[in-house]
Amino acid sequence: MSTLFLRGGLVGGRTQDIAIRDERIHTIGSGLDASGDEILDVRDKLVLPGFVETHIHPDKAFIADRTEGLRAGGPTAQTLVAELKKQFTVDDVYQRARRVMELAVRHGCTTMRAHVEIDAFVEMRGVEALRRLQKDLAGKLDLELIAFAQEGIFNDTVTKDLLRAAVRMGLAWLGGCPYMDKDQRGHIDWFFETAQELGVPLDFHADSSDDPALLTCDYIAEQTIERGMQGRVTLGHLCMLDVLEPAHRAQIVAKLREARIHVISLPATEMHVKGRTDTRRTWRGVARLGELRDAGLNVVISTNNIVNPFTPYGHPDLLRQMLVCAMAMHLGNLDQLAWLPELVTTNAARAIGVEDYGLAEGCRADLVVLDARDAAQAITEQSEKLYVIKNGRVVARNRRITELSAP
């Protein structure tokens, strides 16, 4: 029986021991008996559930050095990456994606839902590489895959069939990108029909621009309700909400809530890509998660892109995303800093249906121990993740060493 004992960690603001048995949290309490266990001394250290990435692109990570990147009047990130991915091989994708995942684990991620691009340019090479990683990283990282149509579905003759084939091979989600097709509603309809036929939940990259005429999340919410898929649809981006008149936005938000849609914001990418043509006031382009949370939506943040033209400084560290989020979304008050970890832990787990998740007895022992006393300190100082624990086993130990010279 594998056993692990965390002594004196800070759980929900109280000093607690955590006893782990058989990959689960067995007991949480003070002054527990640790005999026979491997003991980690985590006194006065913040303990959180393992971080959950819900929206990330490991297949197109670490390619910034293969292209010039964004410049005024130049090609979009989509165009730059579409060209590059024609040359991707299975091994190339595998090596770059593996680097993303090992970094993510090192930074406290215990579950990841990743997009895998499927289209005429890259065909199934990304699927093959990522499925191999699912097996190779078992026990260190739970990896779920989204069959994702980054190039739309009406621009070539193969993507739709390849997406279906990928789901039949075991990819657990279907992922649409309506703004890549002229007929956005036709795109959305195809995804709902296919998701229902194949029995999988849906993710959309949605409403990433600042033109309200192109809004789709209202239609997605309507379809979600009409087809009885409430709670099984996640939406990434939703930048466009930020340019709607407040009364209109409130209407849309009410509809999203009724459809129990999970909102995933990607602040690092928005800050890099958005507002480039605005000559007076640079638009942040980041969904207002504080407001959406107050309205009762399940809100999440995620990393999205890693070192590519969409986010050249992207890094799979959700503690970093919390800081970016705090800065980009005006979420720096003490109560806000205290709930920011929800966005990468419990809310993220709920968005993608991770079961038995959290800091409670009986839950899976997926934990991160931070070198901080509370979330505000961890976010502000970007504290080290001292231990990352997956299924009750330590999968990463990190230490920072500083030597200050004497005055």
Shortest Å distance, C-beta 64 to Zn ion? 16
Shortest Å distance, C-beta 310 to Zn ion? 8
**Nearer Cβ to Zn ion, position 223 or 304?**
304
Partners of 238 in the β-ladder? none
Show contacts with Zn ion in window 125-164 (CB under 5 A).
none
Size of residue set near Zn ion by CB under 5 A = 1
Shortest Å distance, C-beta 32 to Zn ion? 43
**Nearer Cβ to Zn ion, position 111 or 304?**
304
Shortest Å distance, C-beta 205 to Zn ion? 5
d(CA 38, CA 49): 20
d(CA 114, CA 66): 22
**Nearer Cβ to Zn ion, position 143 or 365?**
143
**Nearer Cβ to Zn ion, position 207 or 371?**
207
**CA-derived radius of gyration, the chain:** 21
Contact (Cβ atoms closer than 8 angstroms) between residue 119 and residue 87: no
Q: Which residue is it, tokens 């579905």?
A: 153
d(CA 367, CA 240): 35
Partners of 388 in the β-ladder? 368, 396
Shortest Å distance, C-beta 314 to Zn ion? 10
For the record, the structure tokens of 222 come out as 């309507």
**Nearer Cβ to Zn ion, position 304 or 345?**
304
Binding mask 276-315 for Zn ion (x = CB under 5 A): ----------------------------x-----------
User: How many angstroms from the chain centroid is the CA of residue 351?
Assistant: 10
**Nearer Cβ to Zn ion, position 176 or 341?**
176
Query: Cβ neighbours of residue 371 under 8 Å, at least 6 residues apart?
Result: 45, 378, 383, 384, 385, 386, 400
d(CA 76, CA 60): 15
Shortest Å distance, C-beta 3 to Zn ion? 40
Residues in touch with Zn ion (CB under 5 A)? 304
